[in-house]
Structure formats: C-alpha cells, structure tokens
Amino acid sequence: MNCESVTKIIPLYFYGELPPDEEDLLERHLDTCAACARQAESQRALSAALDRRAMQPSAALLAECRHDLMRAVYRQEVPILRGAGFSRGAAFSPRGTSVPRWLPSFGAWRMPLGASALLALGFIAARLTAPGAAGPFSFASLTPDNVVSSVRSVQPAHDGSQPGEVQIVLDETRRRVISGQLNDSNIQRLMLAAAHDENNPGVRWESVDLLKSHSDSSQVRELLLNRVAEDPNPGVRLKALDGLKAFTGDPEVRKVLAQVLADDDNPGVRIAAVDALTAHADDNMVGLLQGVVQKEDNTYVRRRCVKALQDMNASVGTF
C-alpha cells in the first residue's frame, strides 16, 4: 500500500467502508507514515467541523409539514382512494370543502392540526384586537393576558339559533412564571415533567442540563437514565450521559450505557458512552466490547474498545 492509494481510501476508512484486511493494511501504513496520518487527521477534523453544522429540523417545522401534507392528501384522496375501496370515503367532498368525517379520529395528526388552529385563532385575535386592526402579525399581541387558546371543536349551533350560527369551543391555557430553587421538590417535579416534553427538545435539553447537577437524587438519576436511552434528540442524550459520568461504577448505569453503546444511532453519543464505560475496568464488559469491535464502524469507538480489551488482557476477537 503506497501513499497515493492511501489518499484515496482515507475517506472510506473513516466511514467504515473498507474491508477488514484493507483496513488493517491502512492502519499499519498510518502508524509508519506521518504524511498520511496527517491526512487521516485532516479527514477527522473535516468530519468534526461538518458534525457541528448538522441541522435538526425543529418540531414545529415537522408539525407544519405533516399538517400541510395531510391537507394535500385529503384534497387528492377522493379520486385515488375511493376506487381502492377506502372505507371512510363516503363523506368526502371532491374539492375538500367540508371537514372529512375521519378527521376527529385522526389521533396522531390532531396535535399539528390543533397547533395550526391555534395560530389561525391567534391571527384572527391579533387582527381583531390590534389598534388599527391592520398591523403586522405579532405573537406578542396574541397573548396580552398570557392566555393561549386552541379550538376544541366547531359545530353548527343548537336548534333554535339563527341560521348560519356556529358554536366554537375553546381550550384556554394561561401562562404563569414560577421561580424557585432546584432543590425545591415542587420545582424539581415540574422540571422532571419538562424533561419529557416530547414537542420541545430545547426545553428537554435545558431541563436535563439543570437537573444533572442534582444527579444524587434517585429521581433525577432515573430521569437521566431514561433520557440517555430514550430521548430522540442526540443533544439531550449527550447531556443526560454527561450527568451520569459520576455514576459509571453503578451497575444499573453501566447496563444502560452498554445498551447505548450497542444501539445508539449517533456516533457522538456512542463515543461518550464508550468513554464513560471504559473509565472503569469491568470484566463483564468483555463480551460487549468484543461485539462492538465486530460491528462498530466508527474508528474512534472501535479503537477505544480494542484498547479497553487489551488493558483487560482480553482477546479482541470472538471465537
């Protein structure tokens, strides 16, 4: 293997796309060739820079996309699905001008639809209440008394009312500001709930970040274990893992970290997990580490596992 051929395969090595024998040859070359080792380091730096630029669409954008999609699907549905024996199609208007009968039972879409209704209501409220009633849309004007409204239901008014009269039922939420010490049990309870807010990763991240300084509390530790294993946002998972670093000797924590190392889809989280786990030598980890070495495609994680196995005088491969 010469330097020219190494240059071509460094990106493949970095992304775990090389066959094992070629990878071995490359690693041997990197150990002896400073110029190629610098190229490998440059590839790693490029990757780290690009990782920092990774974007996660916001929950609000996803909700809007889902909402828009379902509206578009509904407009298209009659000509396509009626012929396919669609069981709920009887009430559909060809132009989508009436509310489809299935909409209220469309559970998972209800939240984005509700959010959209809220925005629409806010828009109307702003127009009705703003001085001059023609100014630009402003969220601040939606909640002059800290009340947020969403539409629960819309239906024709009861018998006896004027023709064209409708009844709109609103759910109203009042905003309150609560301050207190983190060690106050009521504050902590609210923070624990906020750390599970599935619609707002920013709130979860902040909550976990603040709570992790109280990881000596069993409830907080339970939360951190739950978030590191379950949270869909890798930033939150990393933050929770950070809060568990002082407990990497605890068997329960190690069990969860082992699961994260084996299953997490984010290499940054796996790197943090392997660092935390290998900080404490533990013979029970041998099987796990050997398994990770076999299937892991992140070079750093794999090397860390190999090193930990060597430190424990365990074999790297399985037989």
Which residues of the chain form contacts with other proteins (CB under 8 A)?
8, 11-12, 15-17, 42-43, 45-50, 52-58, 61-62, 64-66, 68-70, 72-73, 76-77, 80-81, 84-89, 102, 106, 108-109, 201-202, 205-206, 232-235, 238-239, 263, 265-267, 295-297
Q: Which is nearer to other proteins, 237 or 254 (CB)?
A: 237
Q: Which is nearer to other proteins, 102 or 130 (CB)?
A: 102
Closest by CA position to 173, among listed 124, 103, 121, 104: 121
Q: Which residues pair with 172 in a beta bridge?
A: 149
Q: What is the Cα–Cα distance from 89 to 273, expressed in whole angstroms?
A: 50
CB of 185 to other proteins, least distance (A): 27
Q: Which is nearer to other proteins, 48 or 170 (CB)?
A: 48
CB of 130 to other proteins, least distance (A): 25
**Residue with token string 């929950």:** 59
Closest by CA position to 274, among listed 299, 252, 221: 299
CA-to-CA dists, residue 169 to 34, 161, 198, angstroms = 71, 16, 26
Q: What is the Cα–Cα distance from 309 to 293, expressed in whole angstroms?
A: 10
**Considering Cα of 76, then 79, then 80, then 85, what sign does the dihedral take?**
positive
Q: What are 279's two structure tokens?
A: 């900080």
CB of 9 to other proteins, least distance (A): 8
CB of 87 to other proteins, least distance (A): 8
Q: Which is nearer to other proteins, 87 or 97 (CB)?
A: 87
Q: Which is nearer to other proteins, 105 or 313 (CB)?
A: 105
E strand segments, 139-297: 147-156, 166-174
CB of 11 to other proteins, least distance (A): 4
- Is residue 268 within 8 A of residue 233, CB to CB? The reply is no
- Is residue 268 within 8 A of residue 236, CB to CB? The reply is no
Q: Which is nearer to other proteins, 282 or 289 (CB)?
A: 289
Q: Which residues pair with 156 in a beta bridge?
A: 166
CB of 17 to other proteins, least distance (A): 5
Q: What is the Cα–Cα distance from 231 to 205, expressed in whole angstroms?
A: 10
Q: What are 125's two structure tokens?
A: 């409220």
CB of 96 to other proteins, least distance (A): 14
CB of 291 to other proteins, least distance (A): 12
Q: What is the Cα–Cα distance from 120 to 114, expressed in whole angstroms?
A: 10
Q: Which is nearer to other proteins, 115 or 125 (CB)?
A: 115
Closest by CA position to 271, among listed 246, 303, 249, 244: 303
Task: Tell me how far the alpha carbon of residue 76 is from its chain's centroid.
Answer: 31
Q: Which is nearer to other proteins, 122 or 201 (CB)?
A: 201
CB of 8 to other proteins, least distance (A): 6
Q: Which is nearer to other proteins, 271 or 312 (CB)?
A: 271
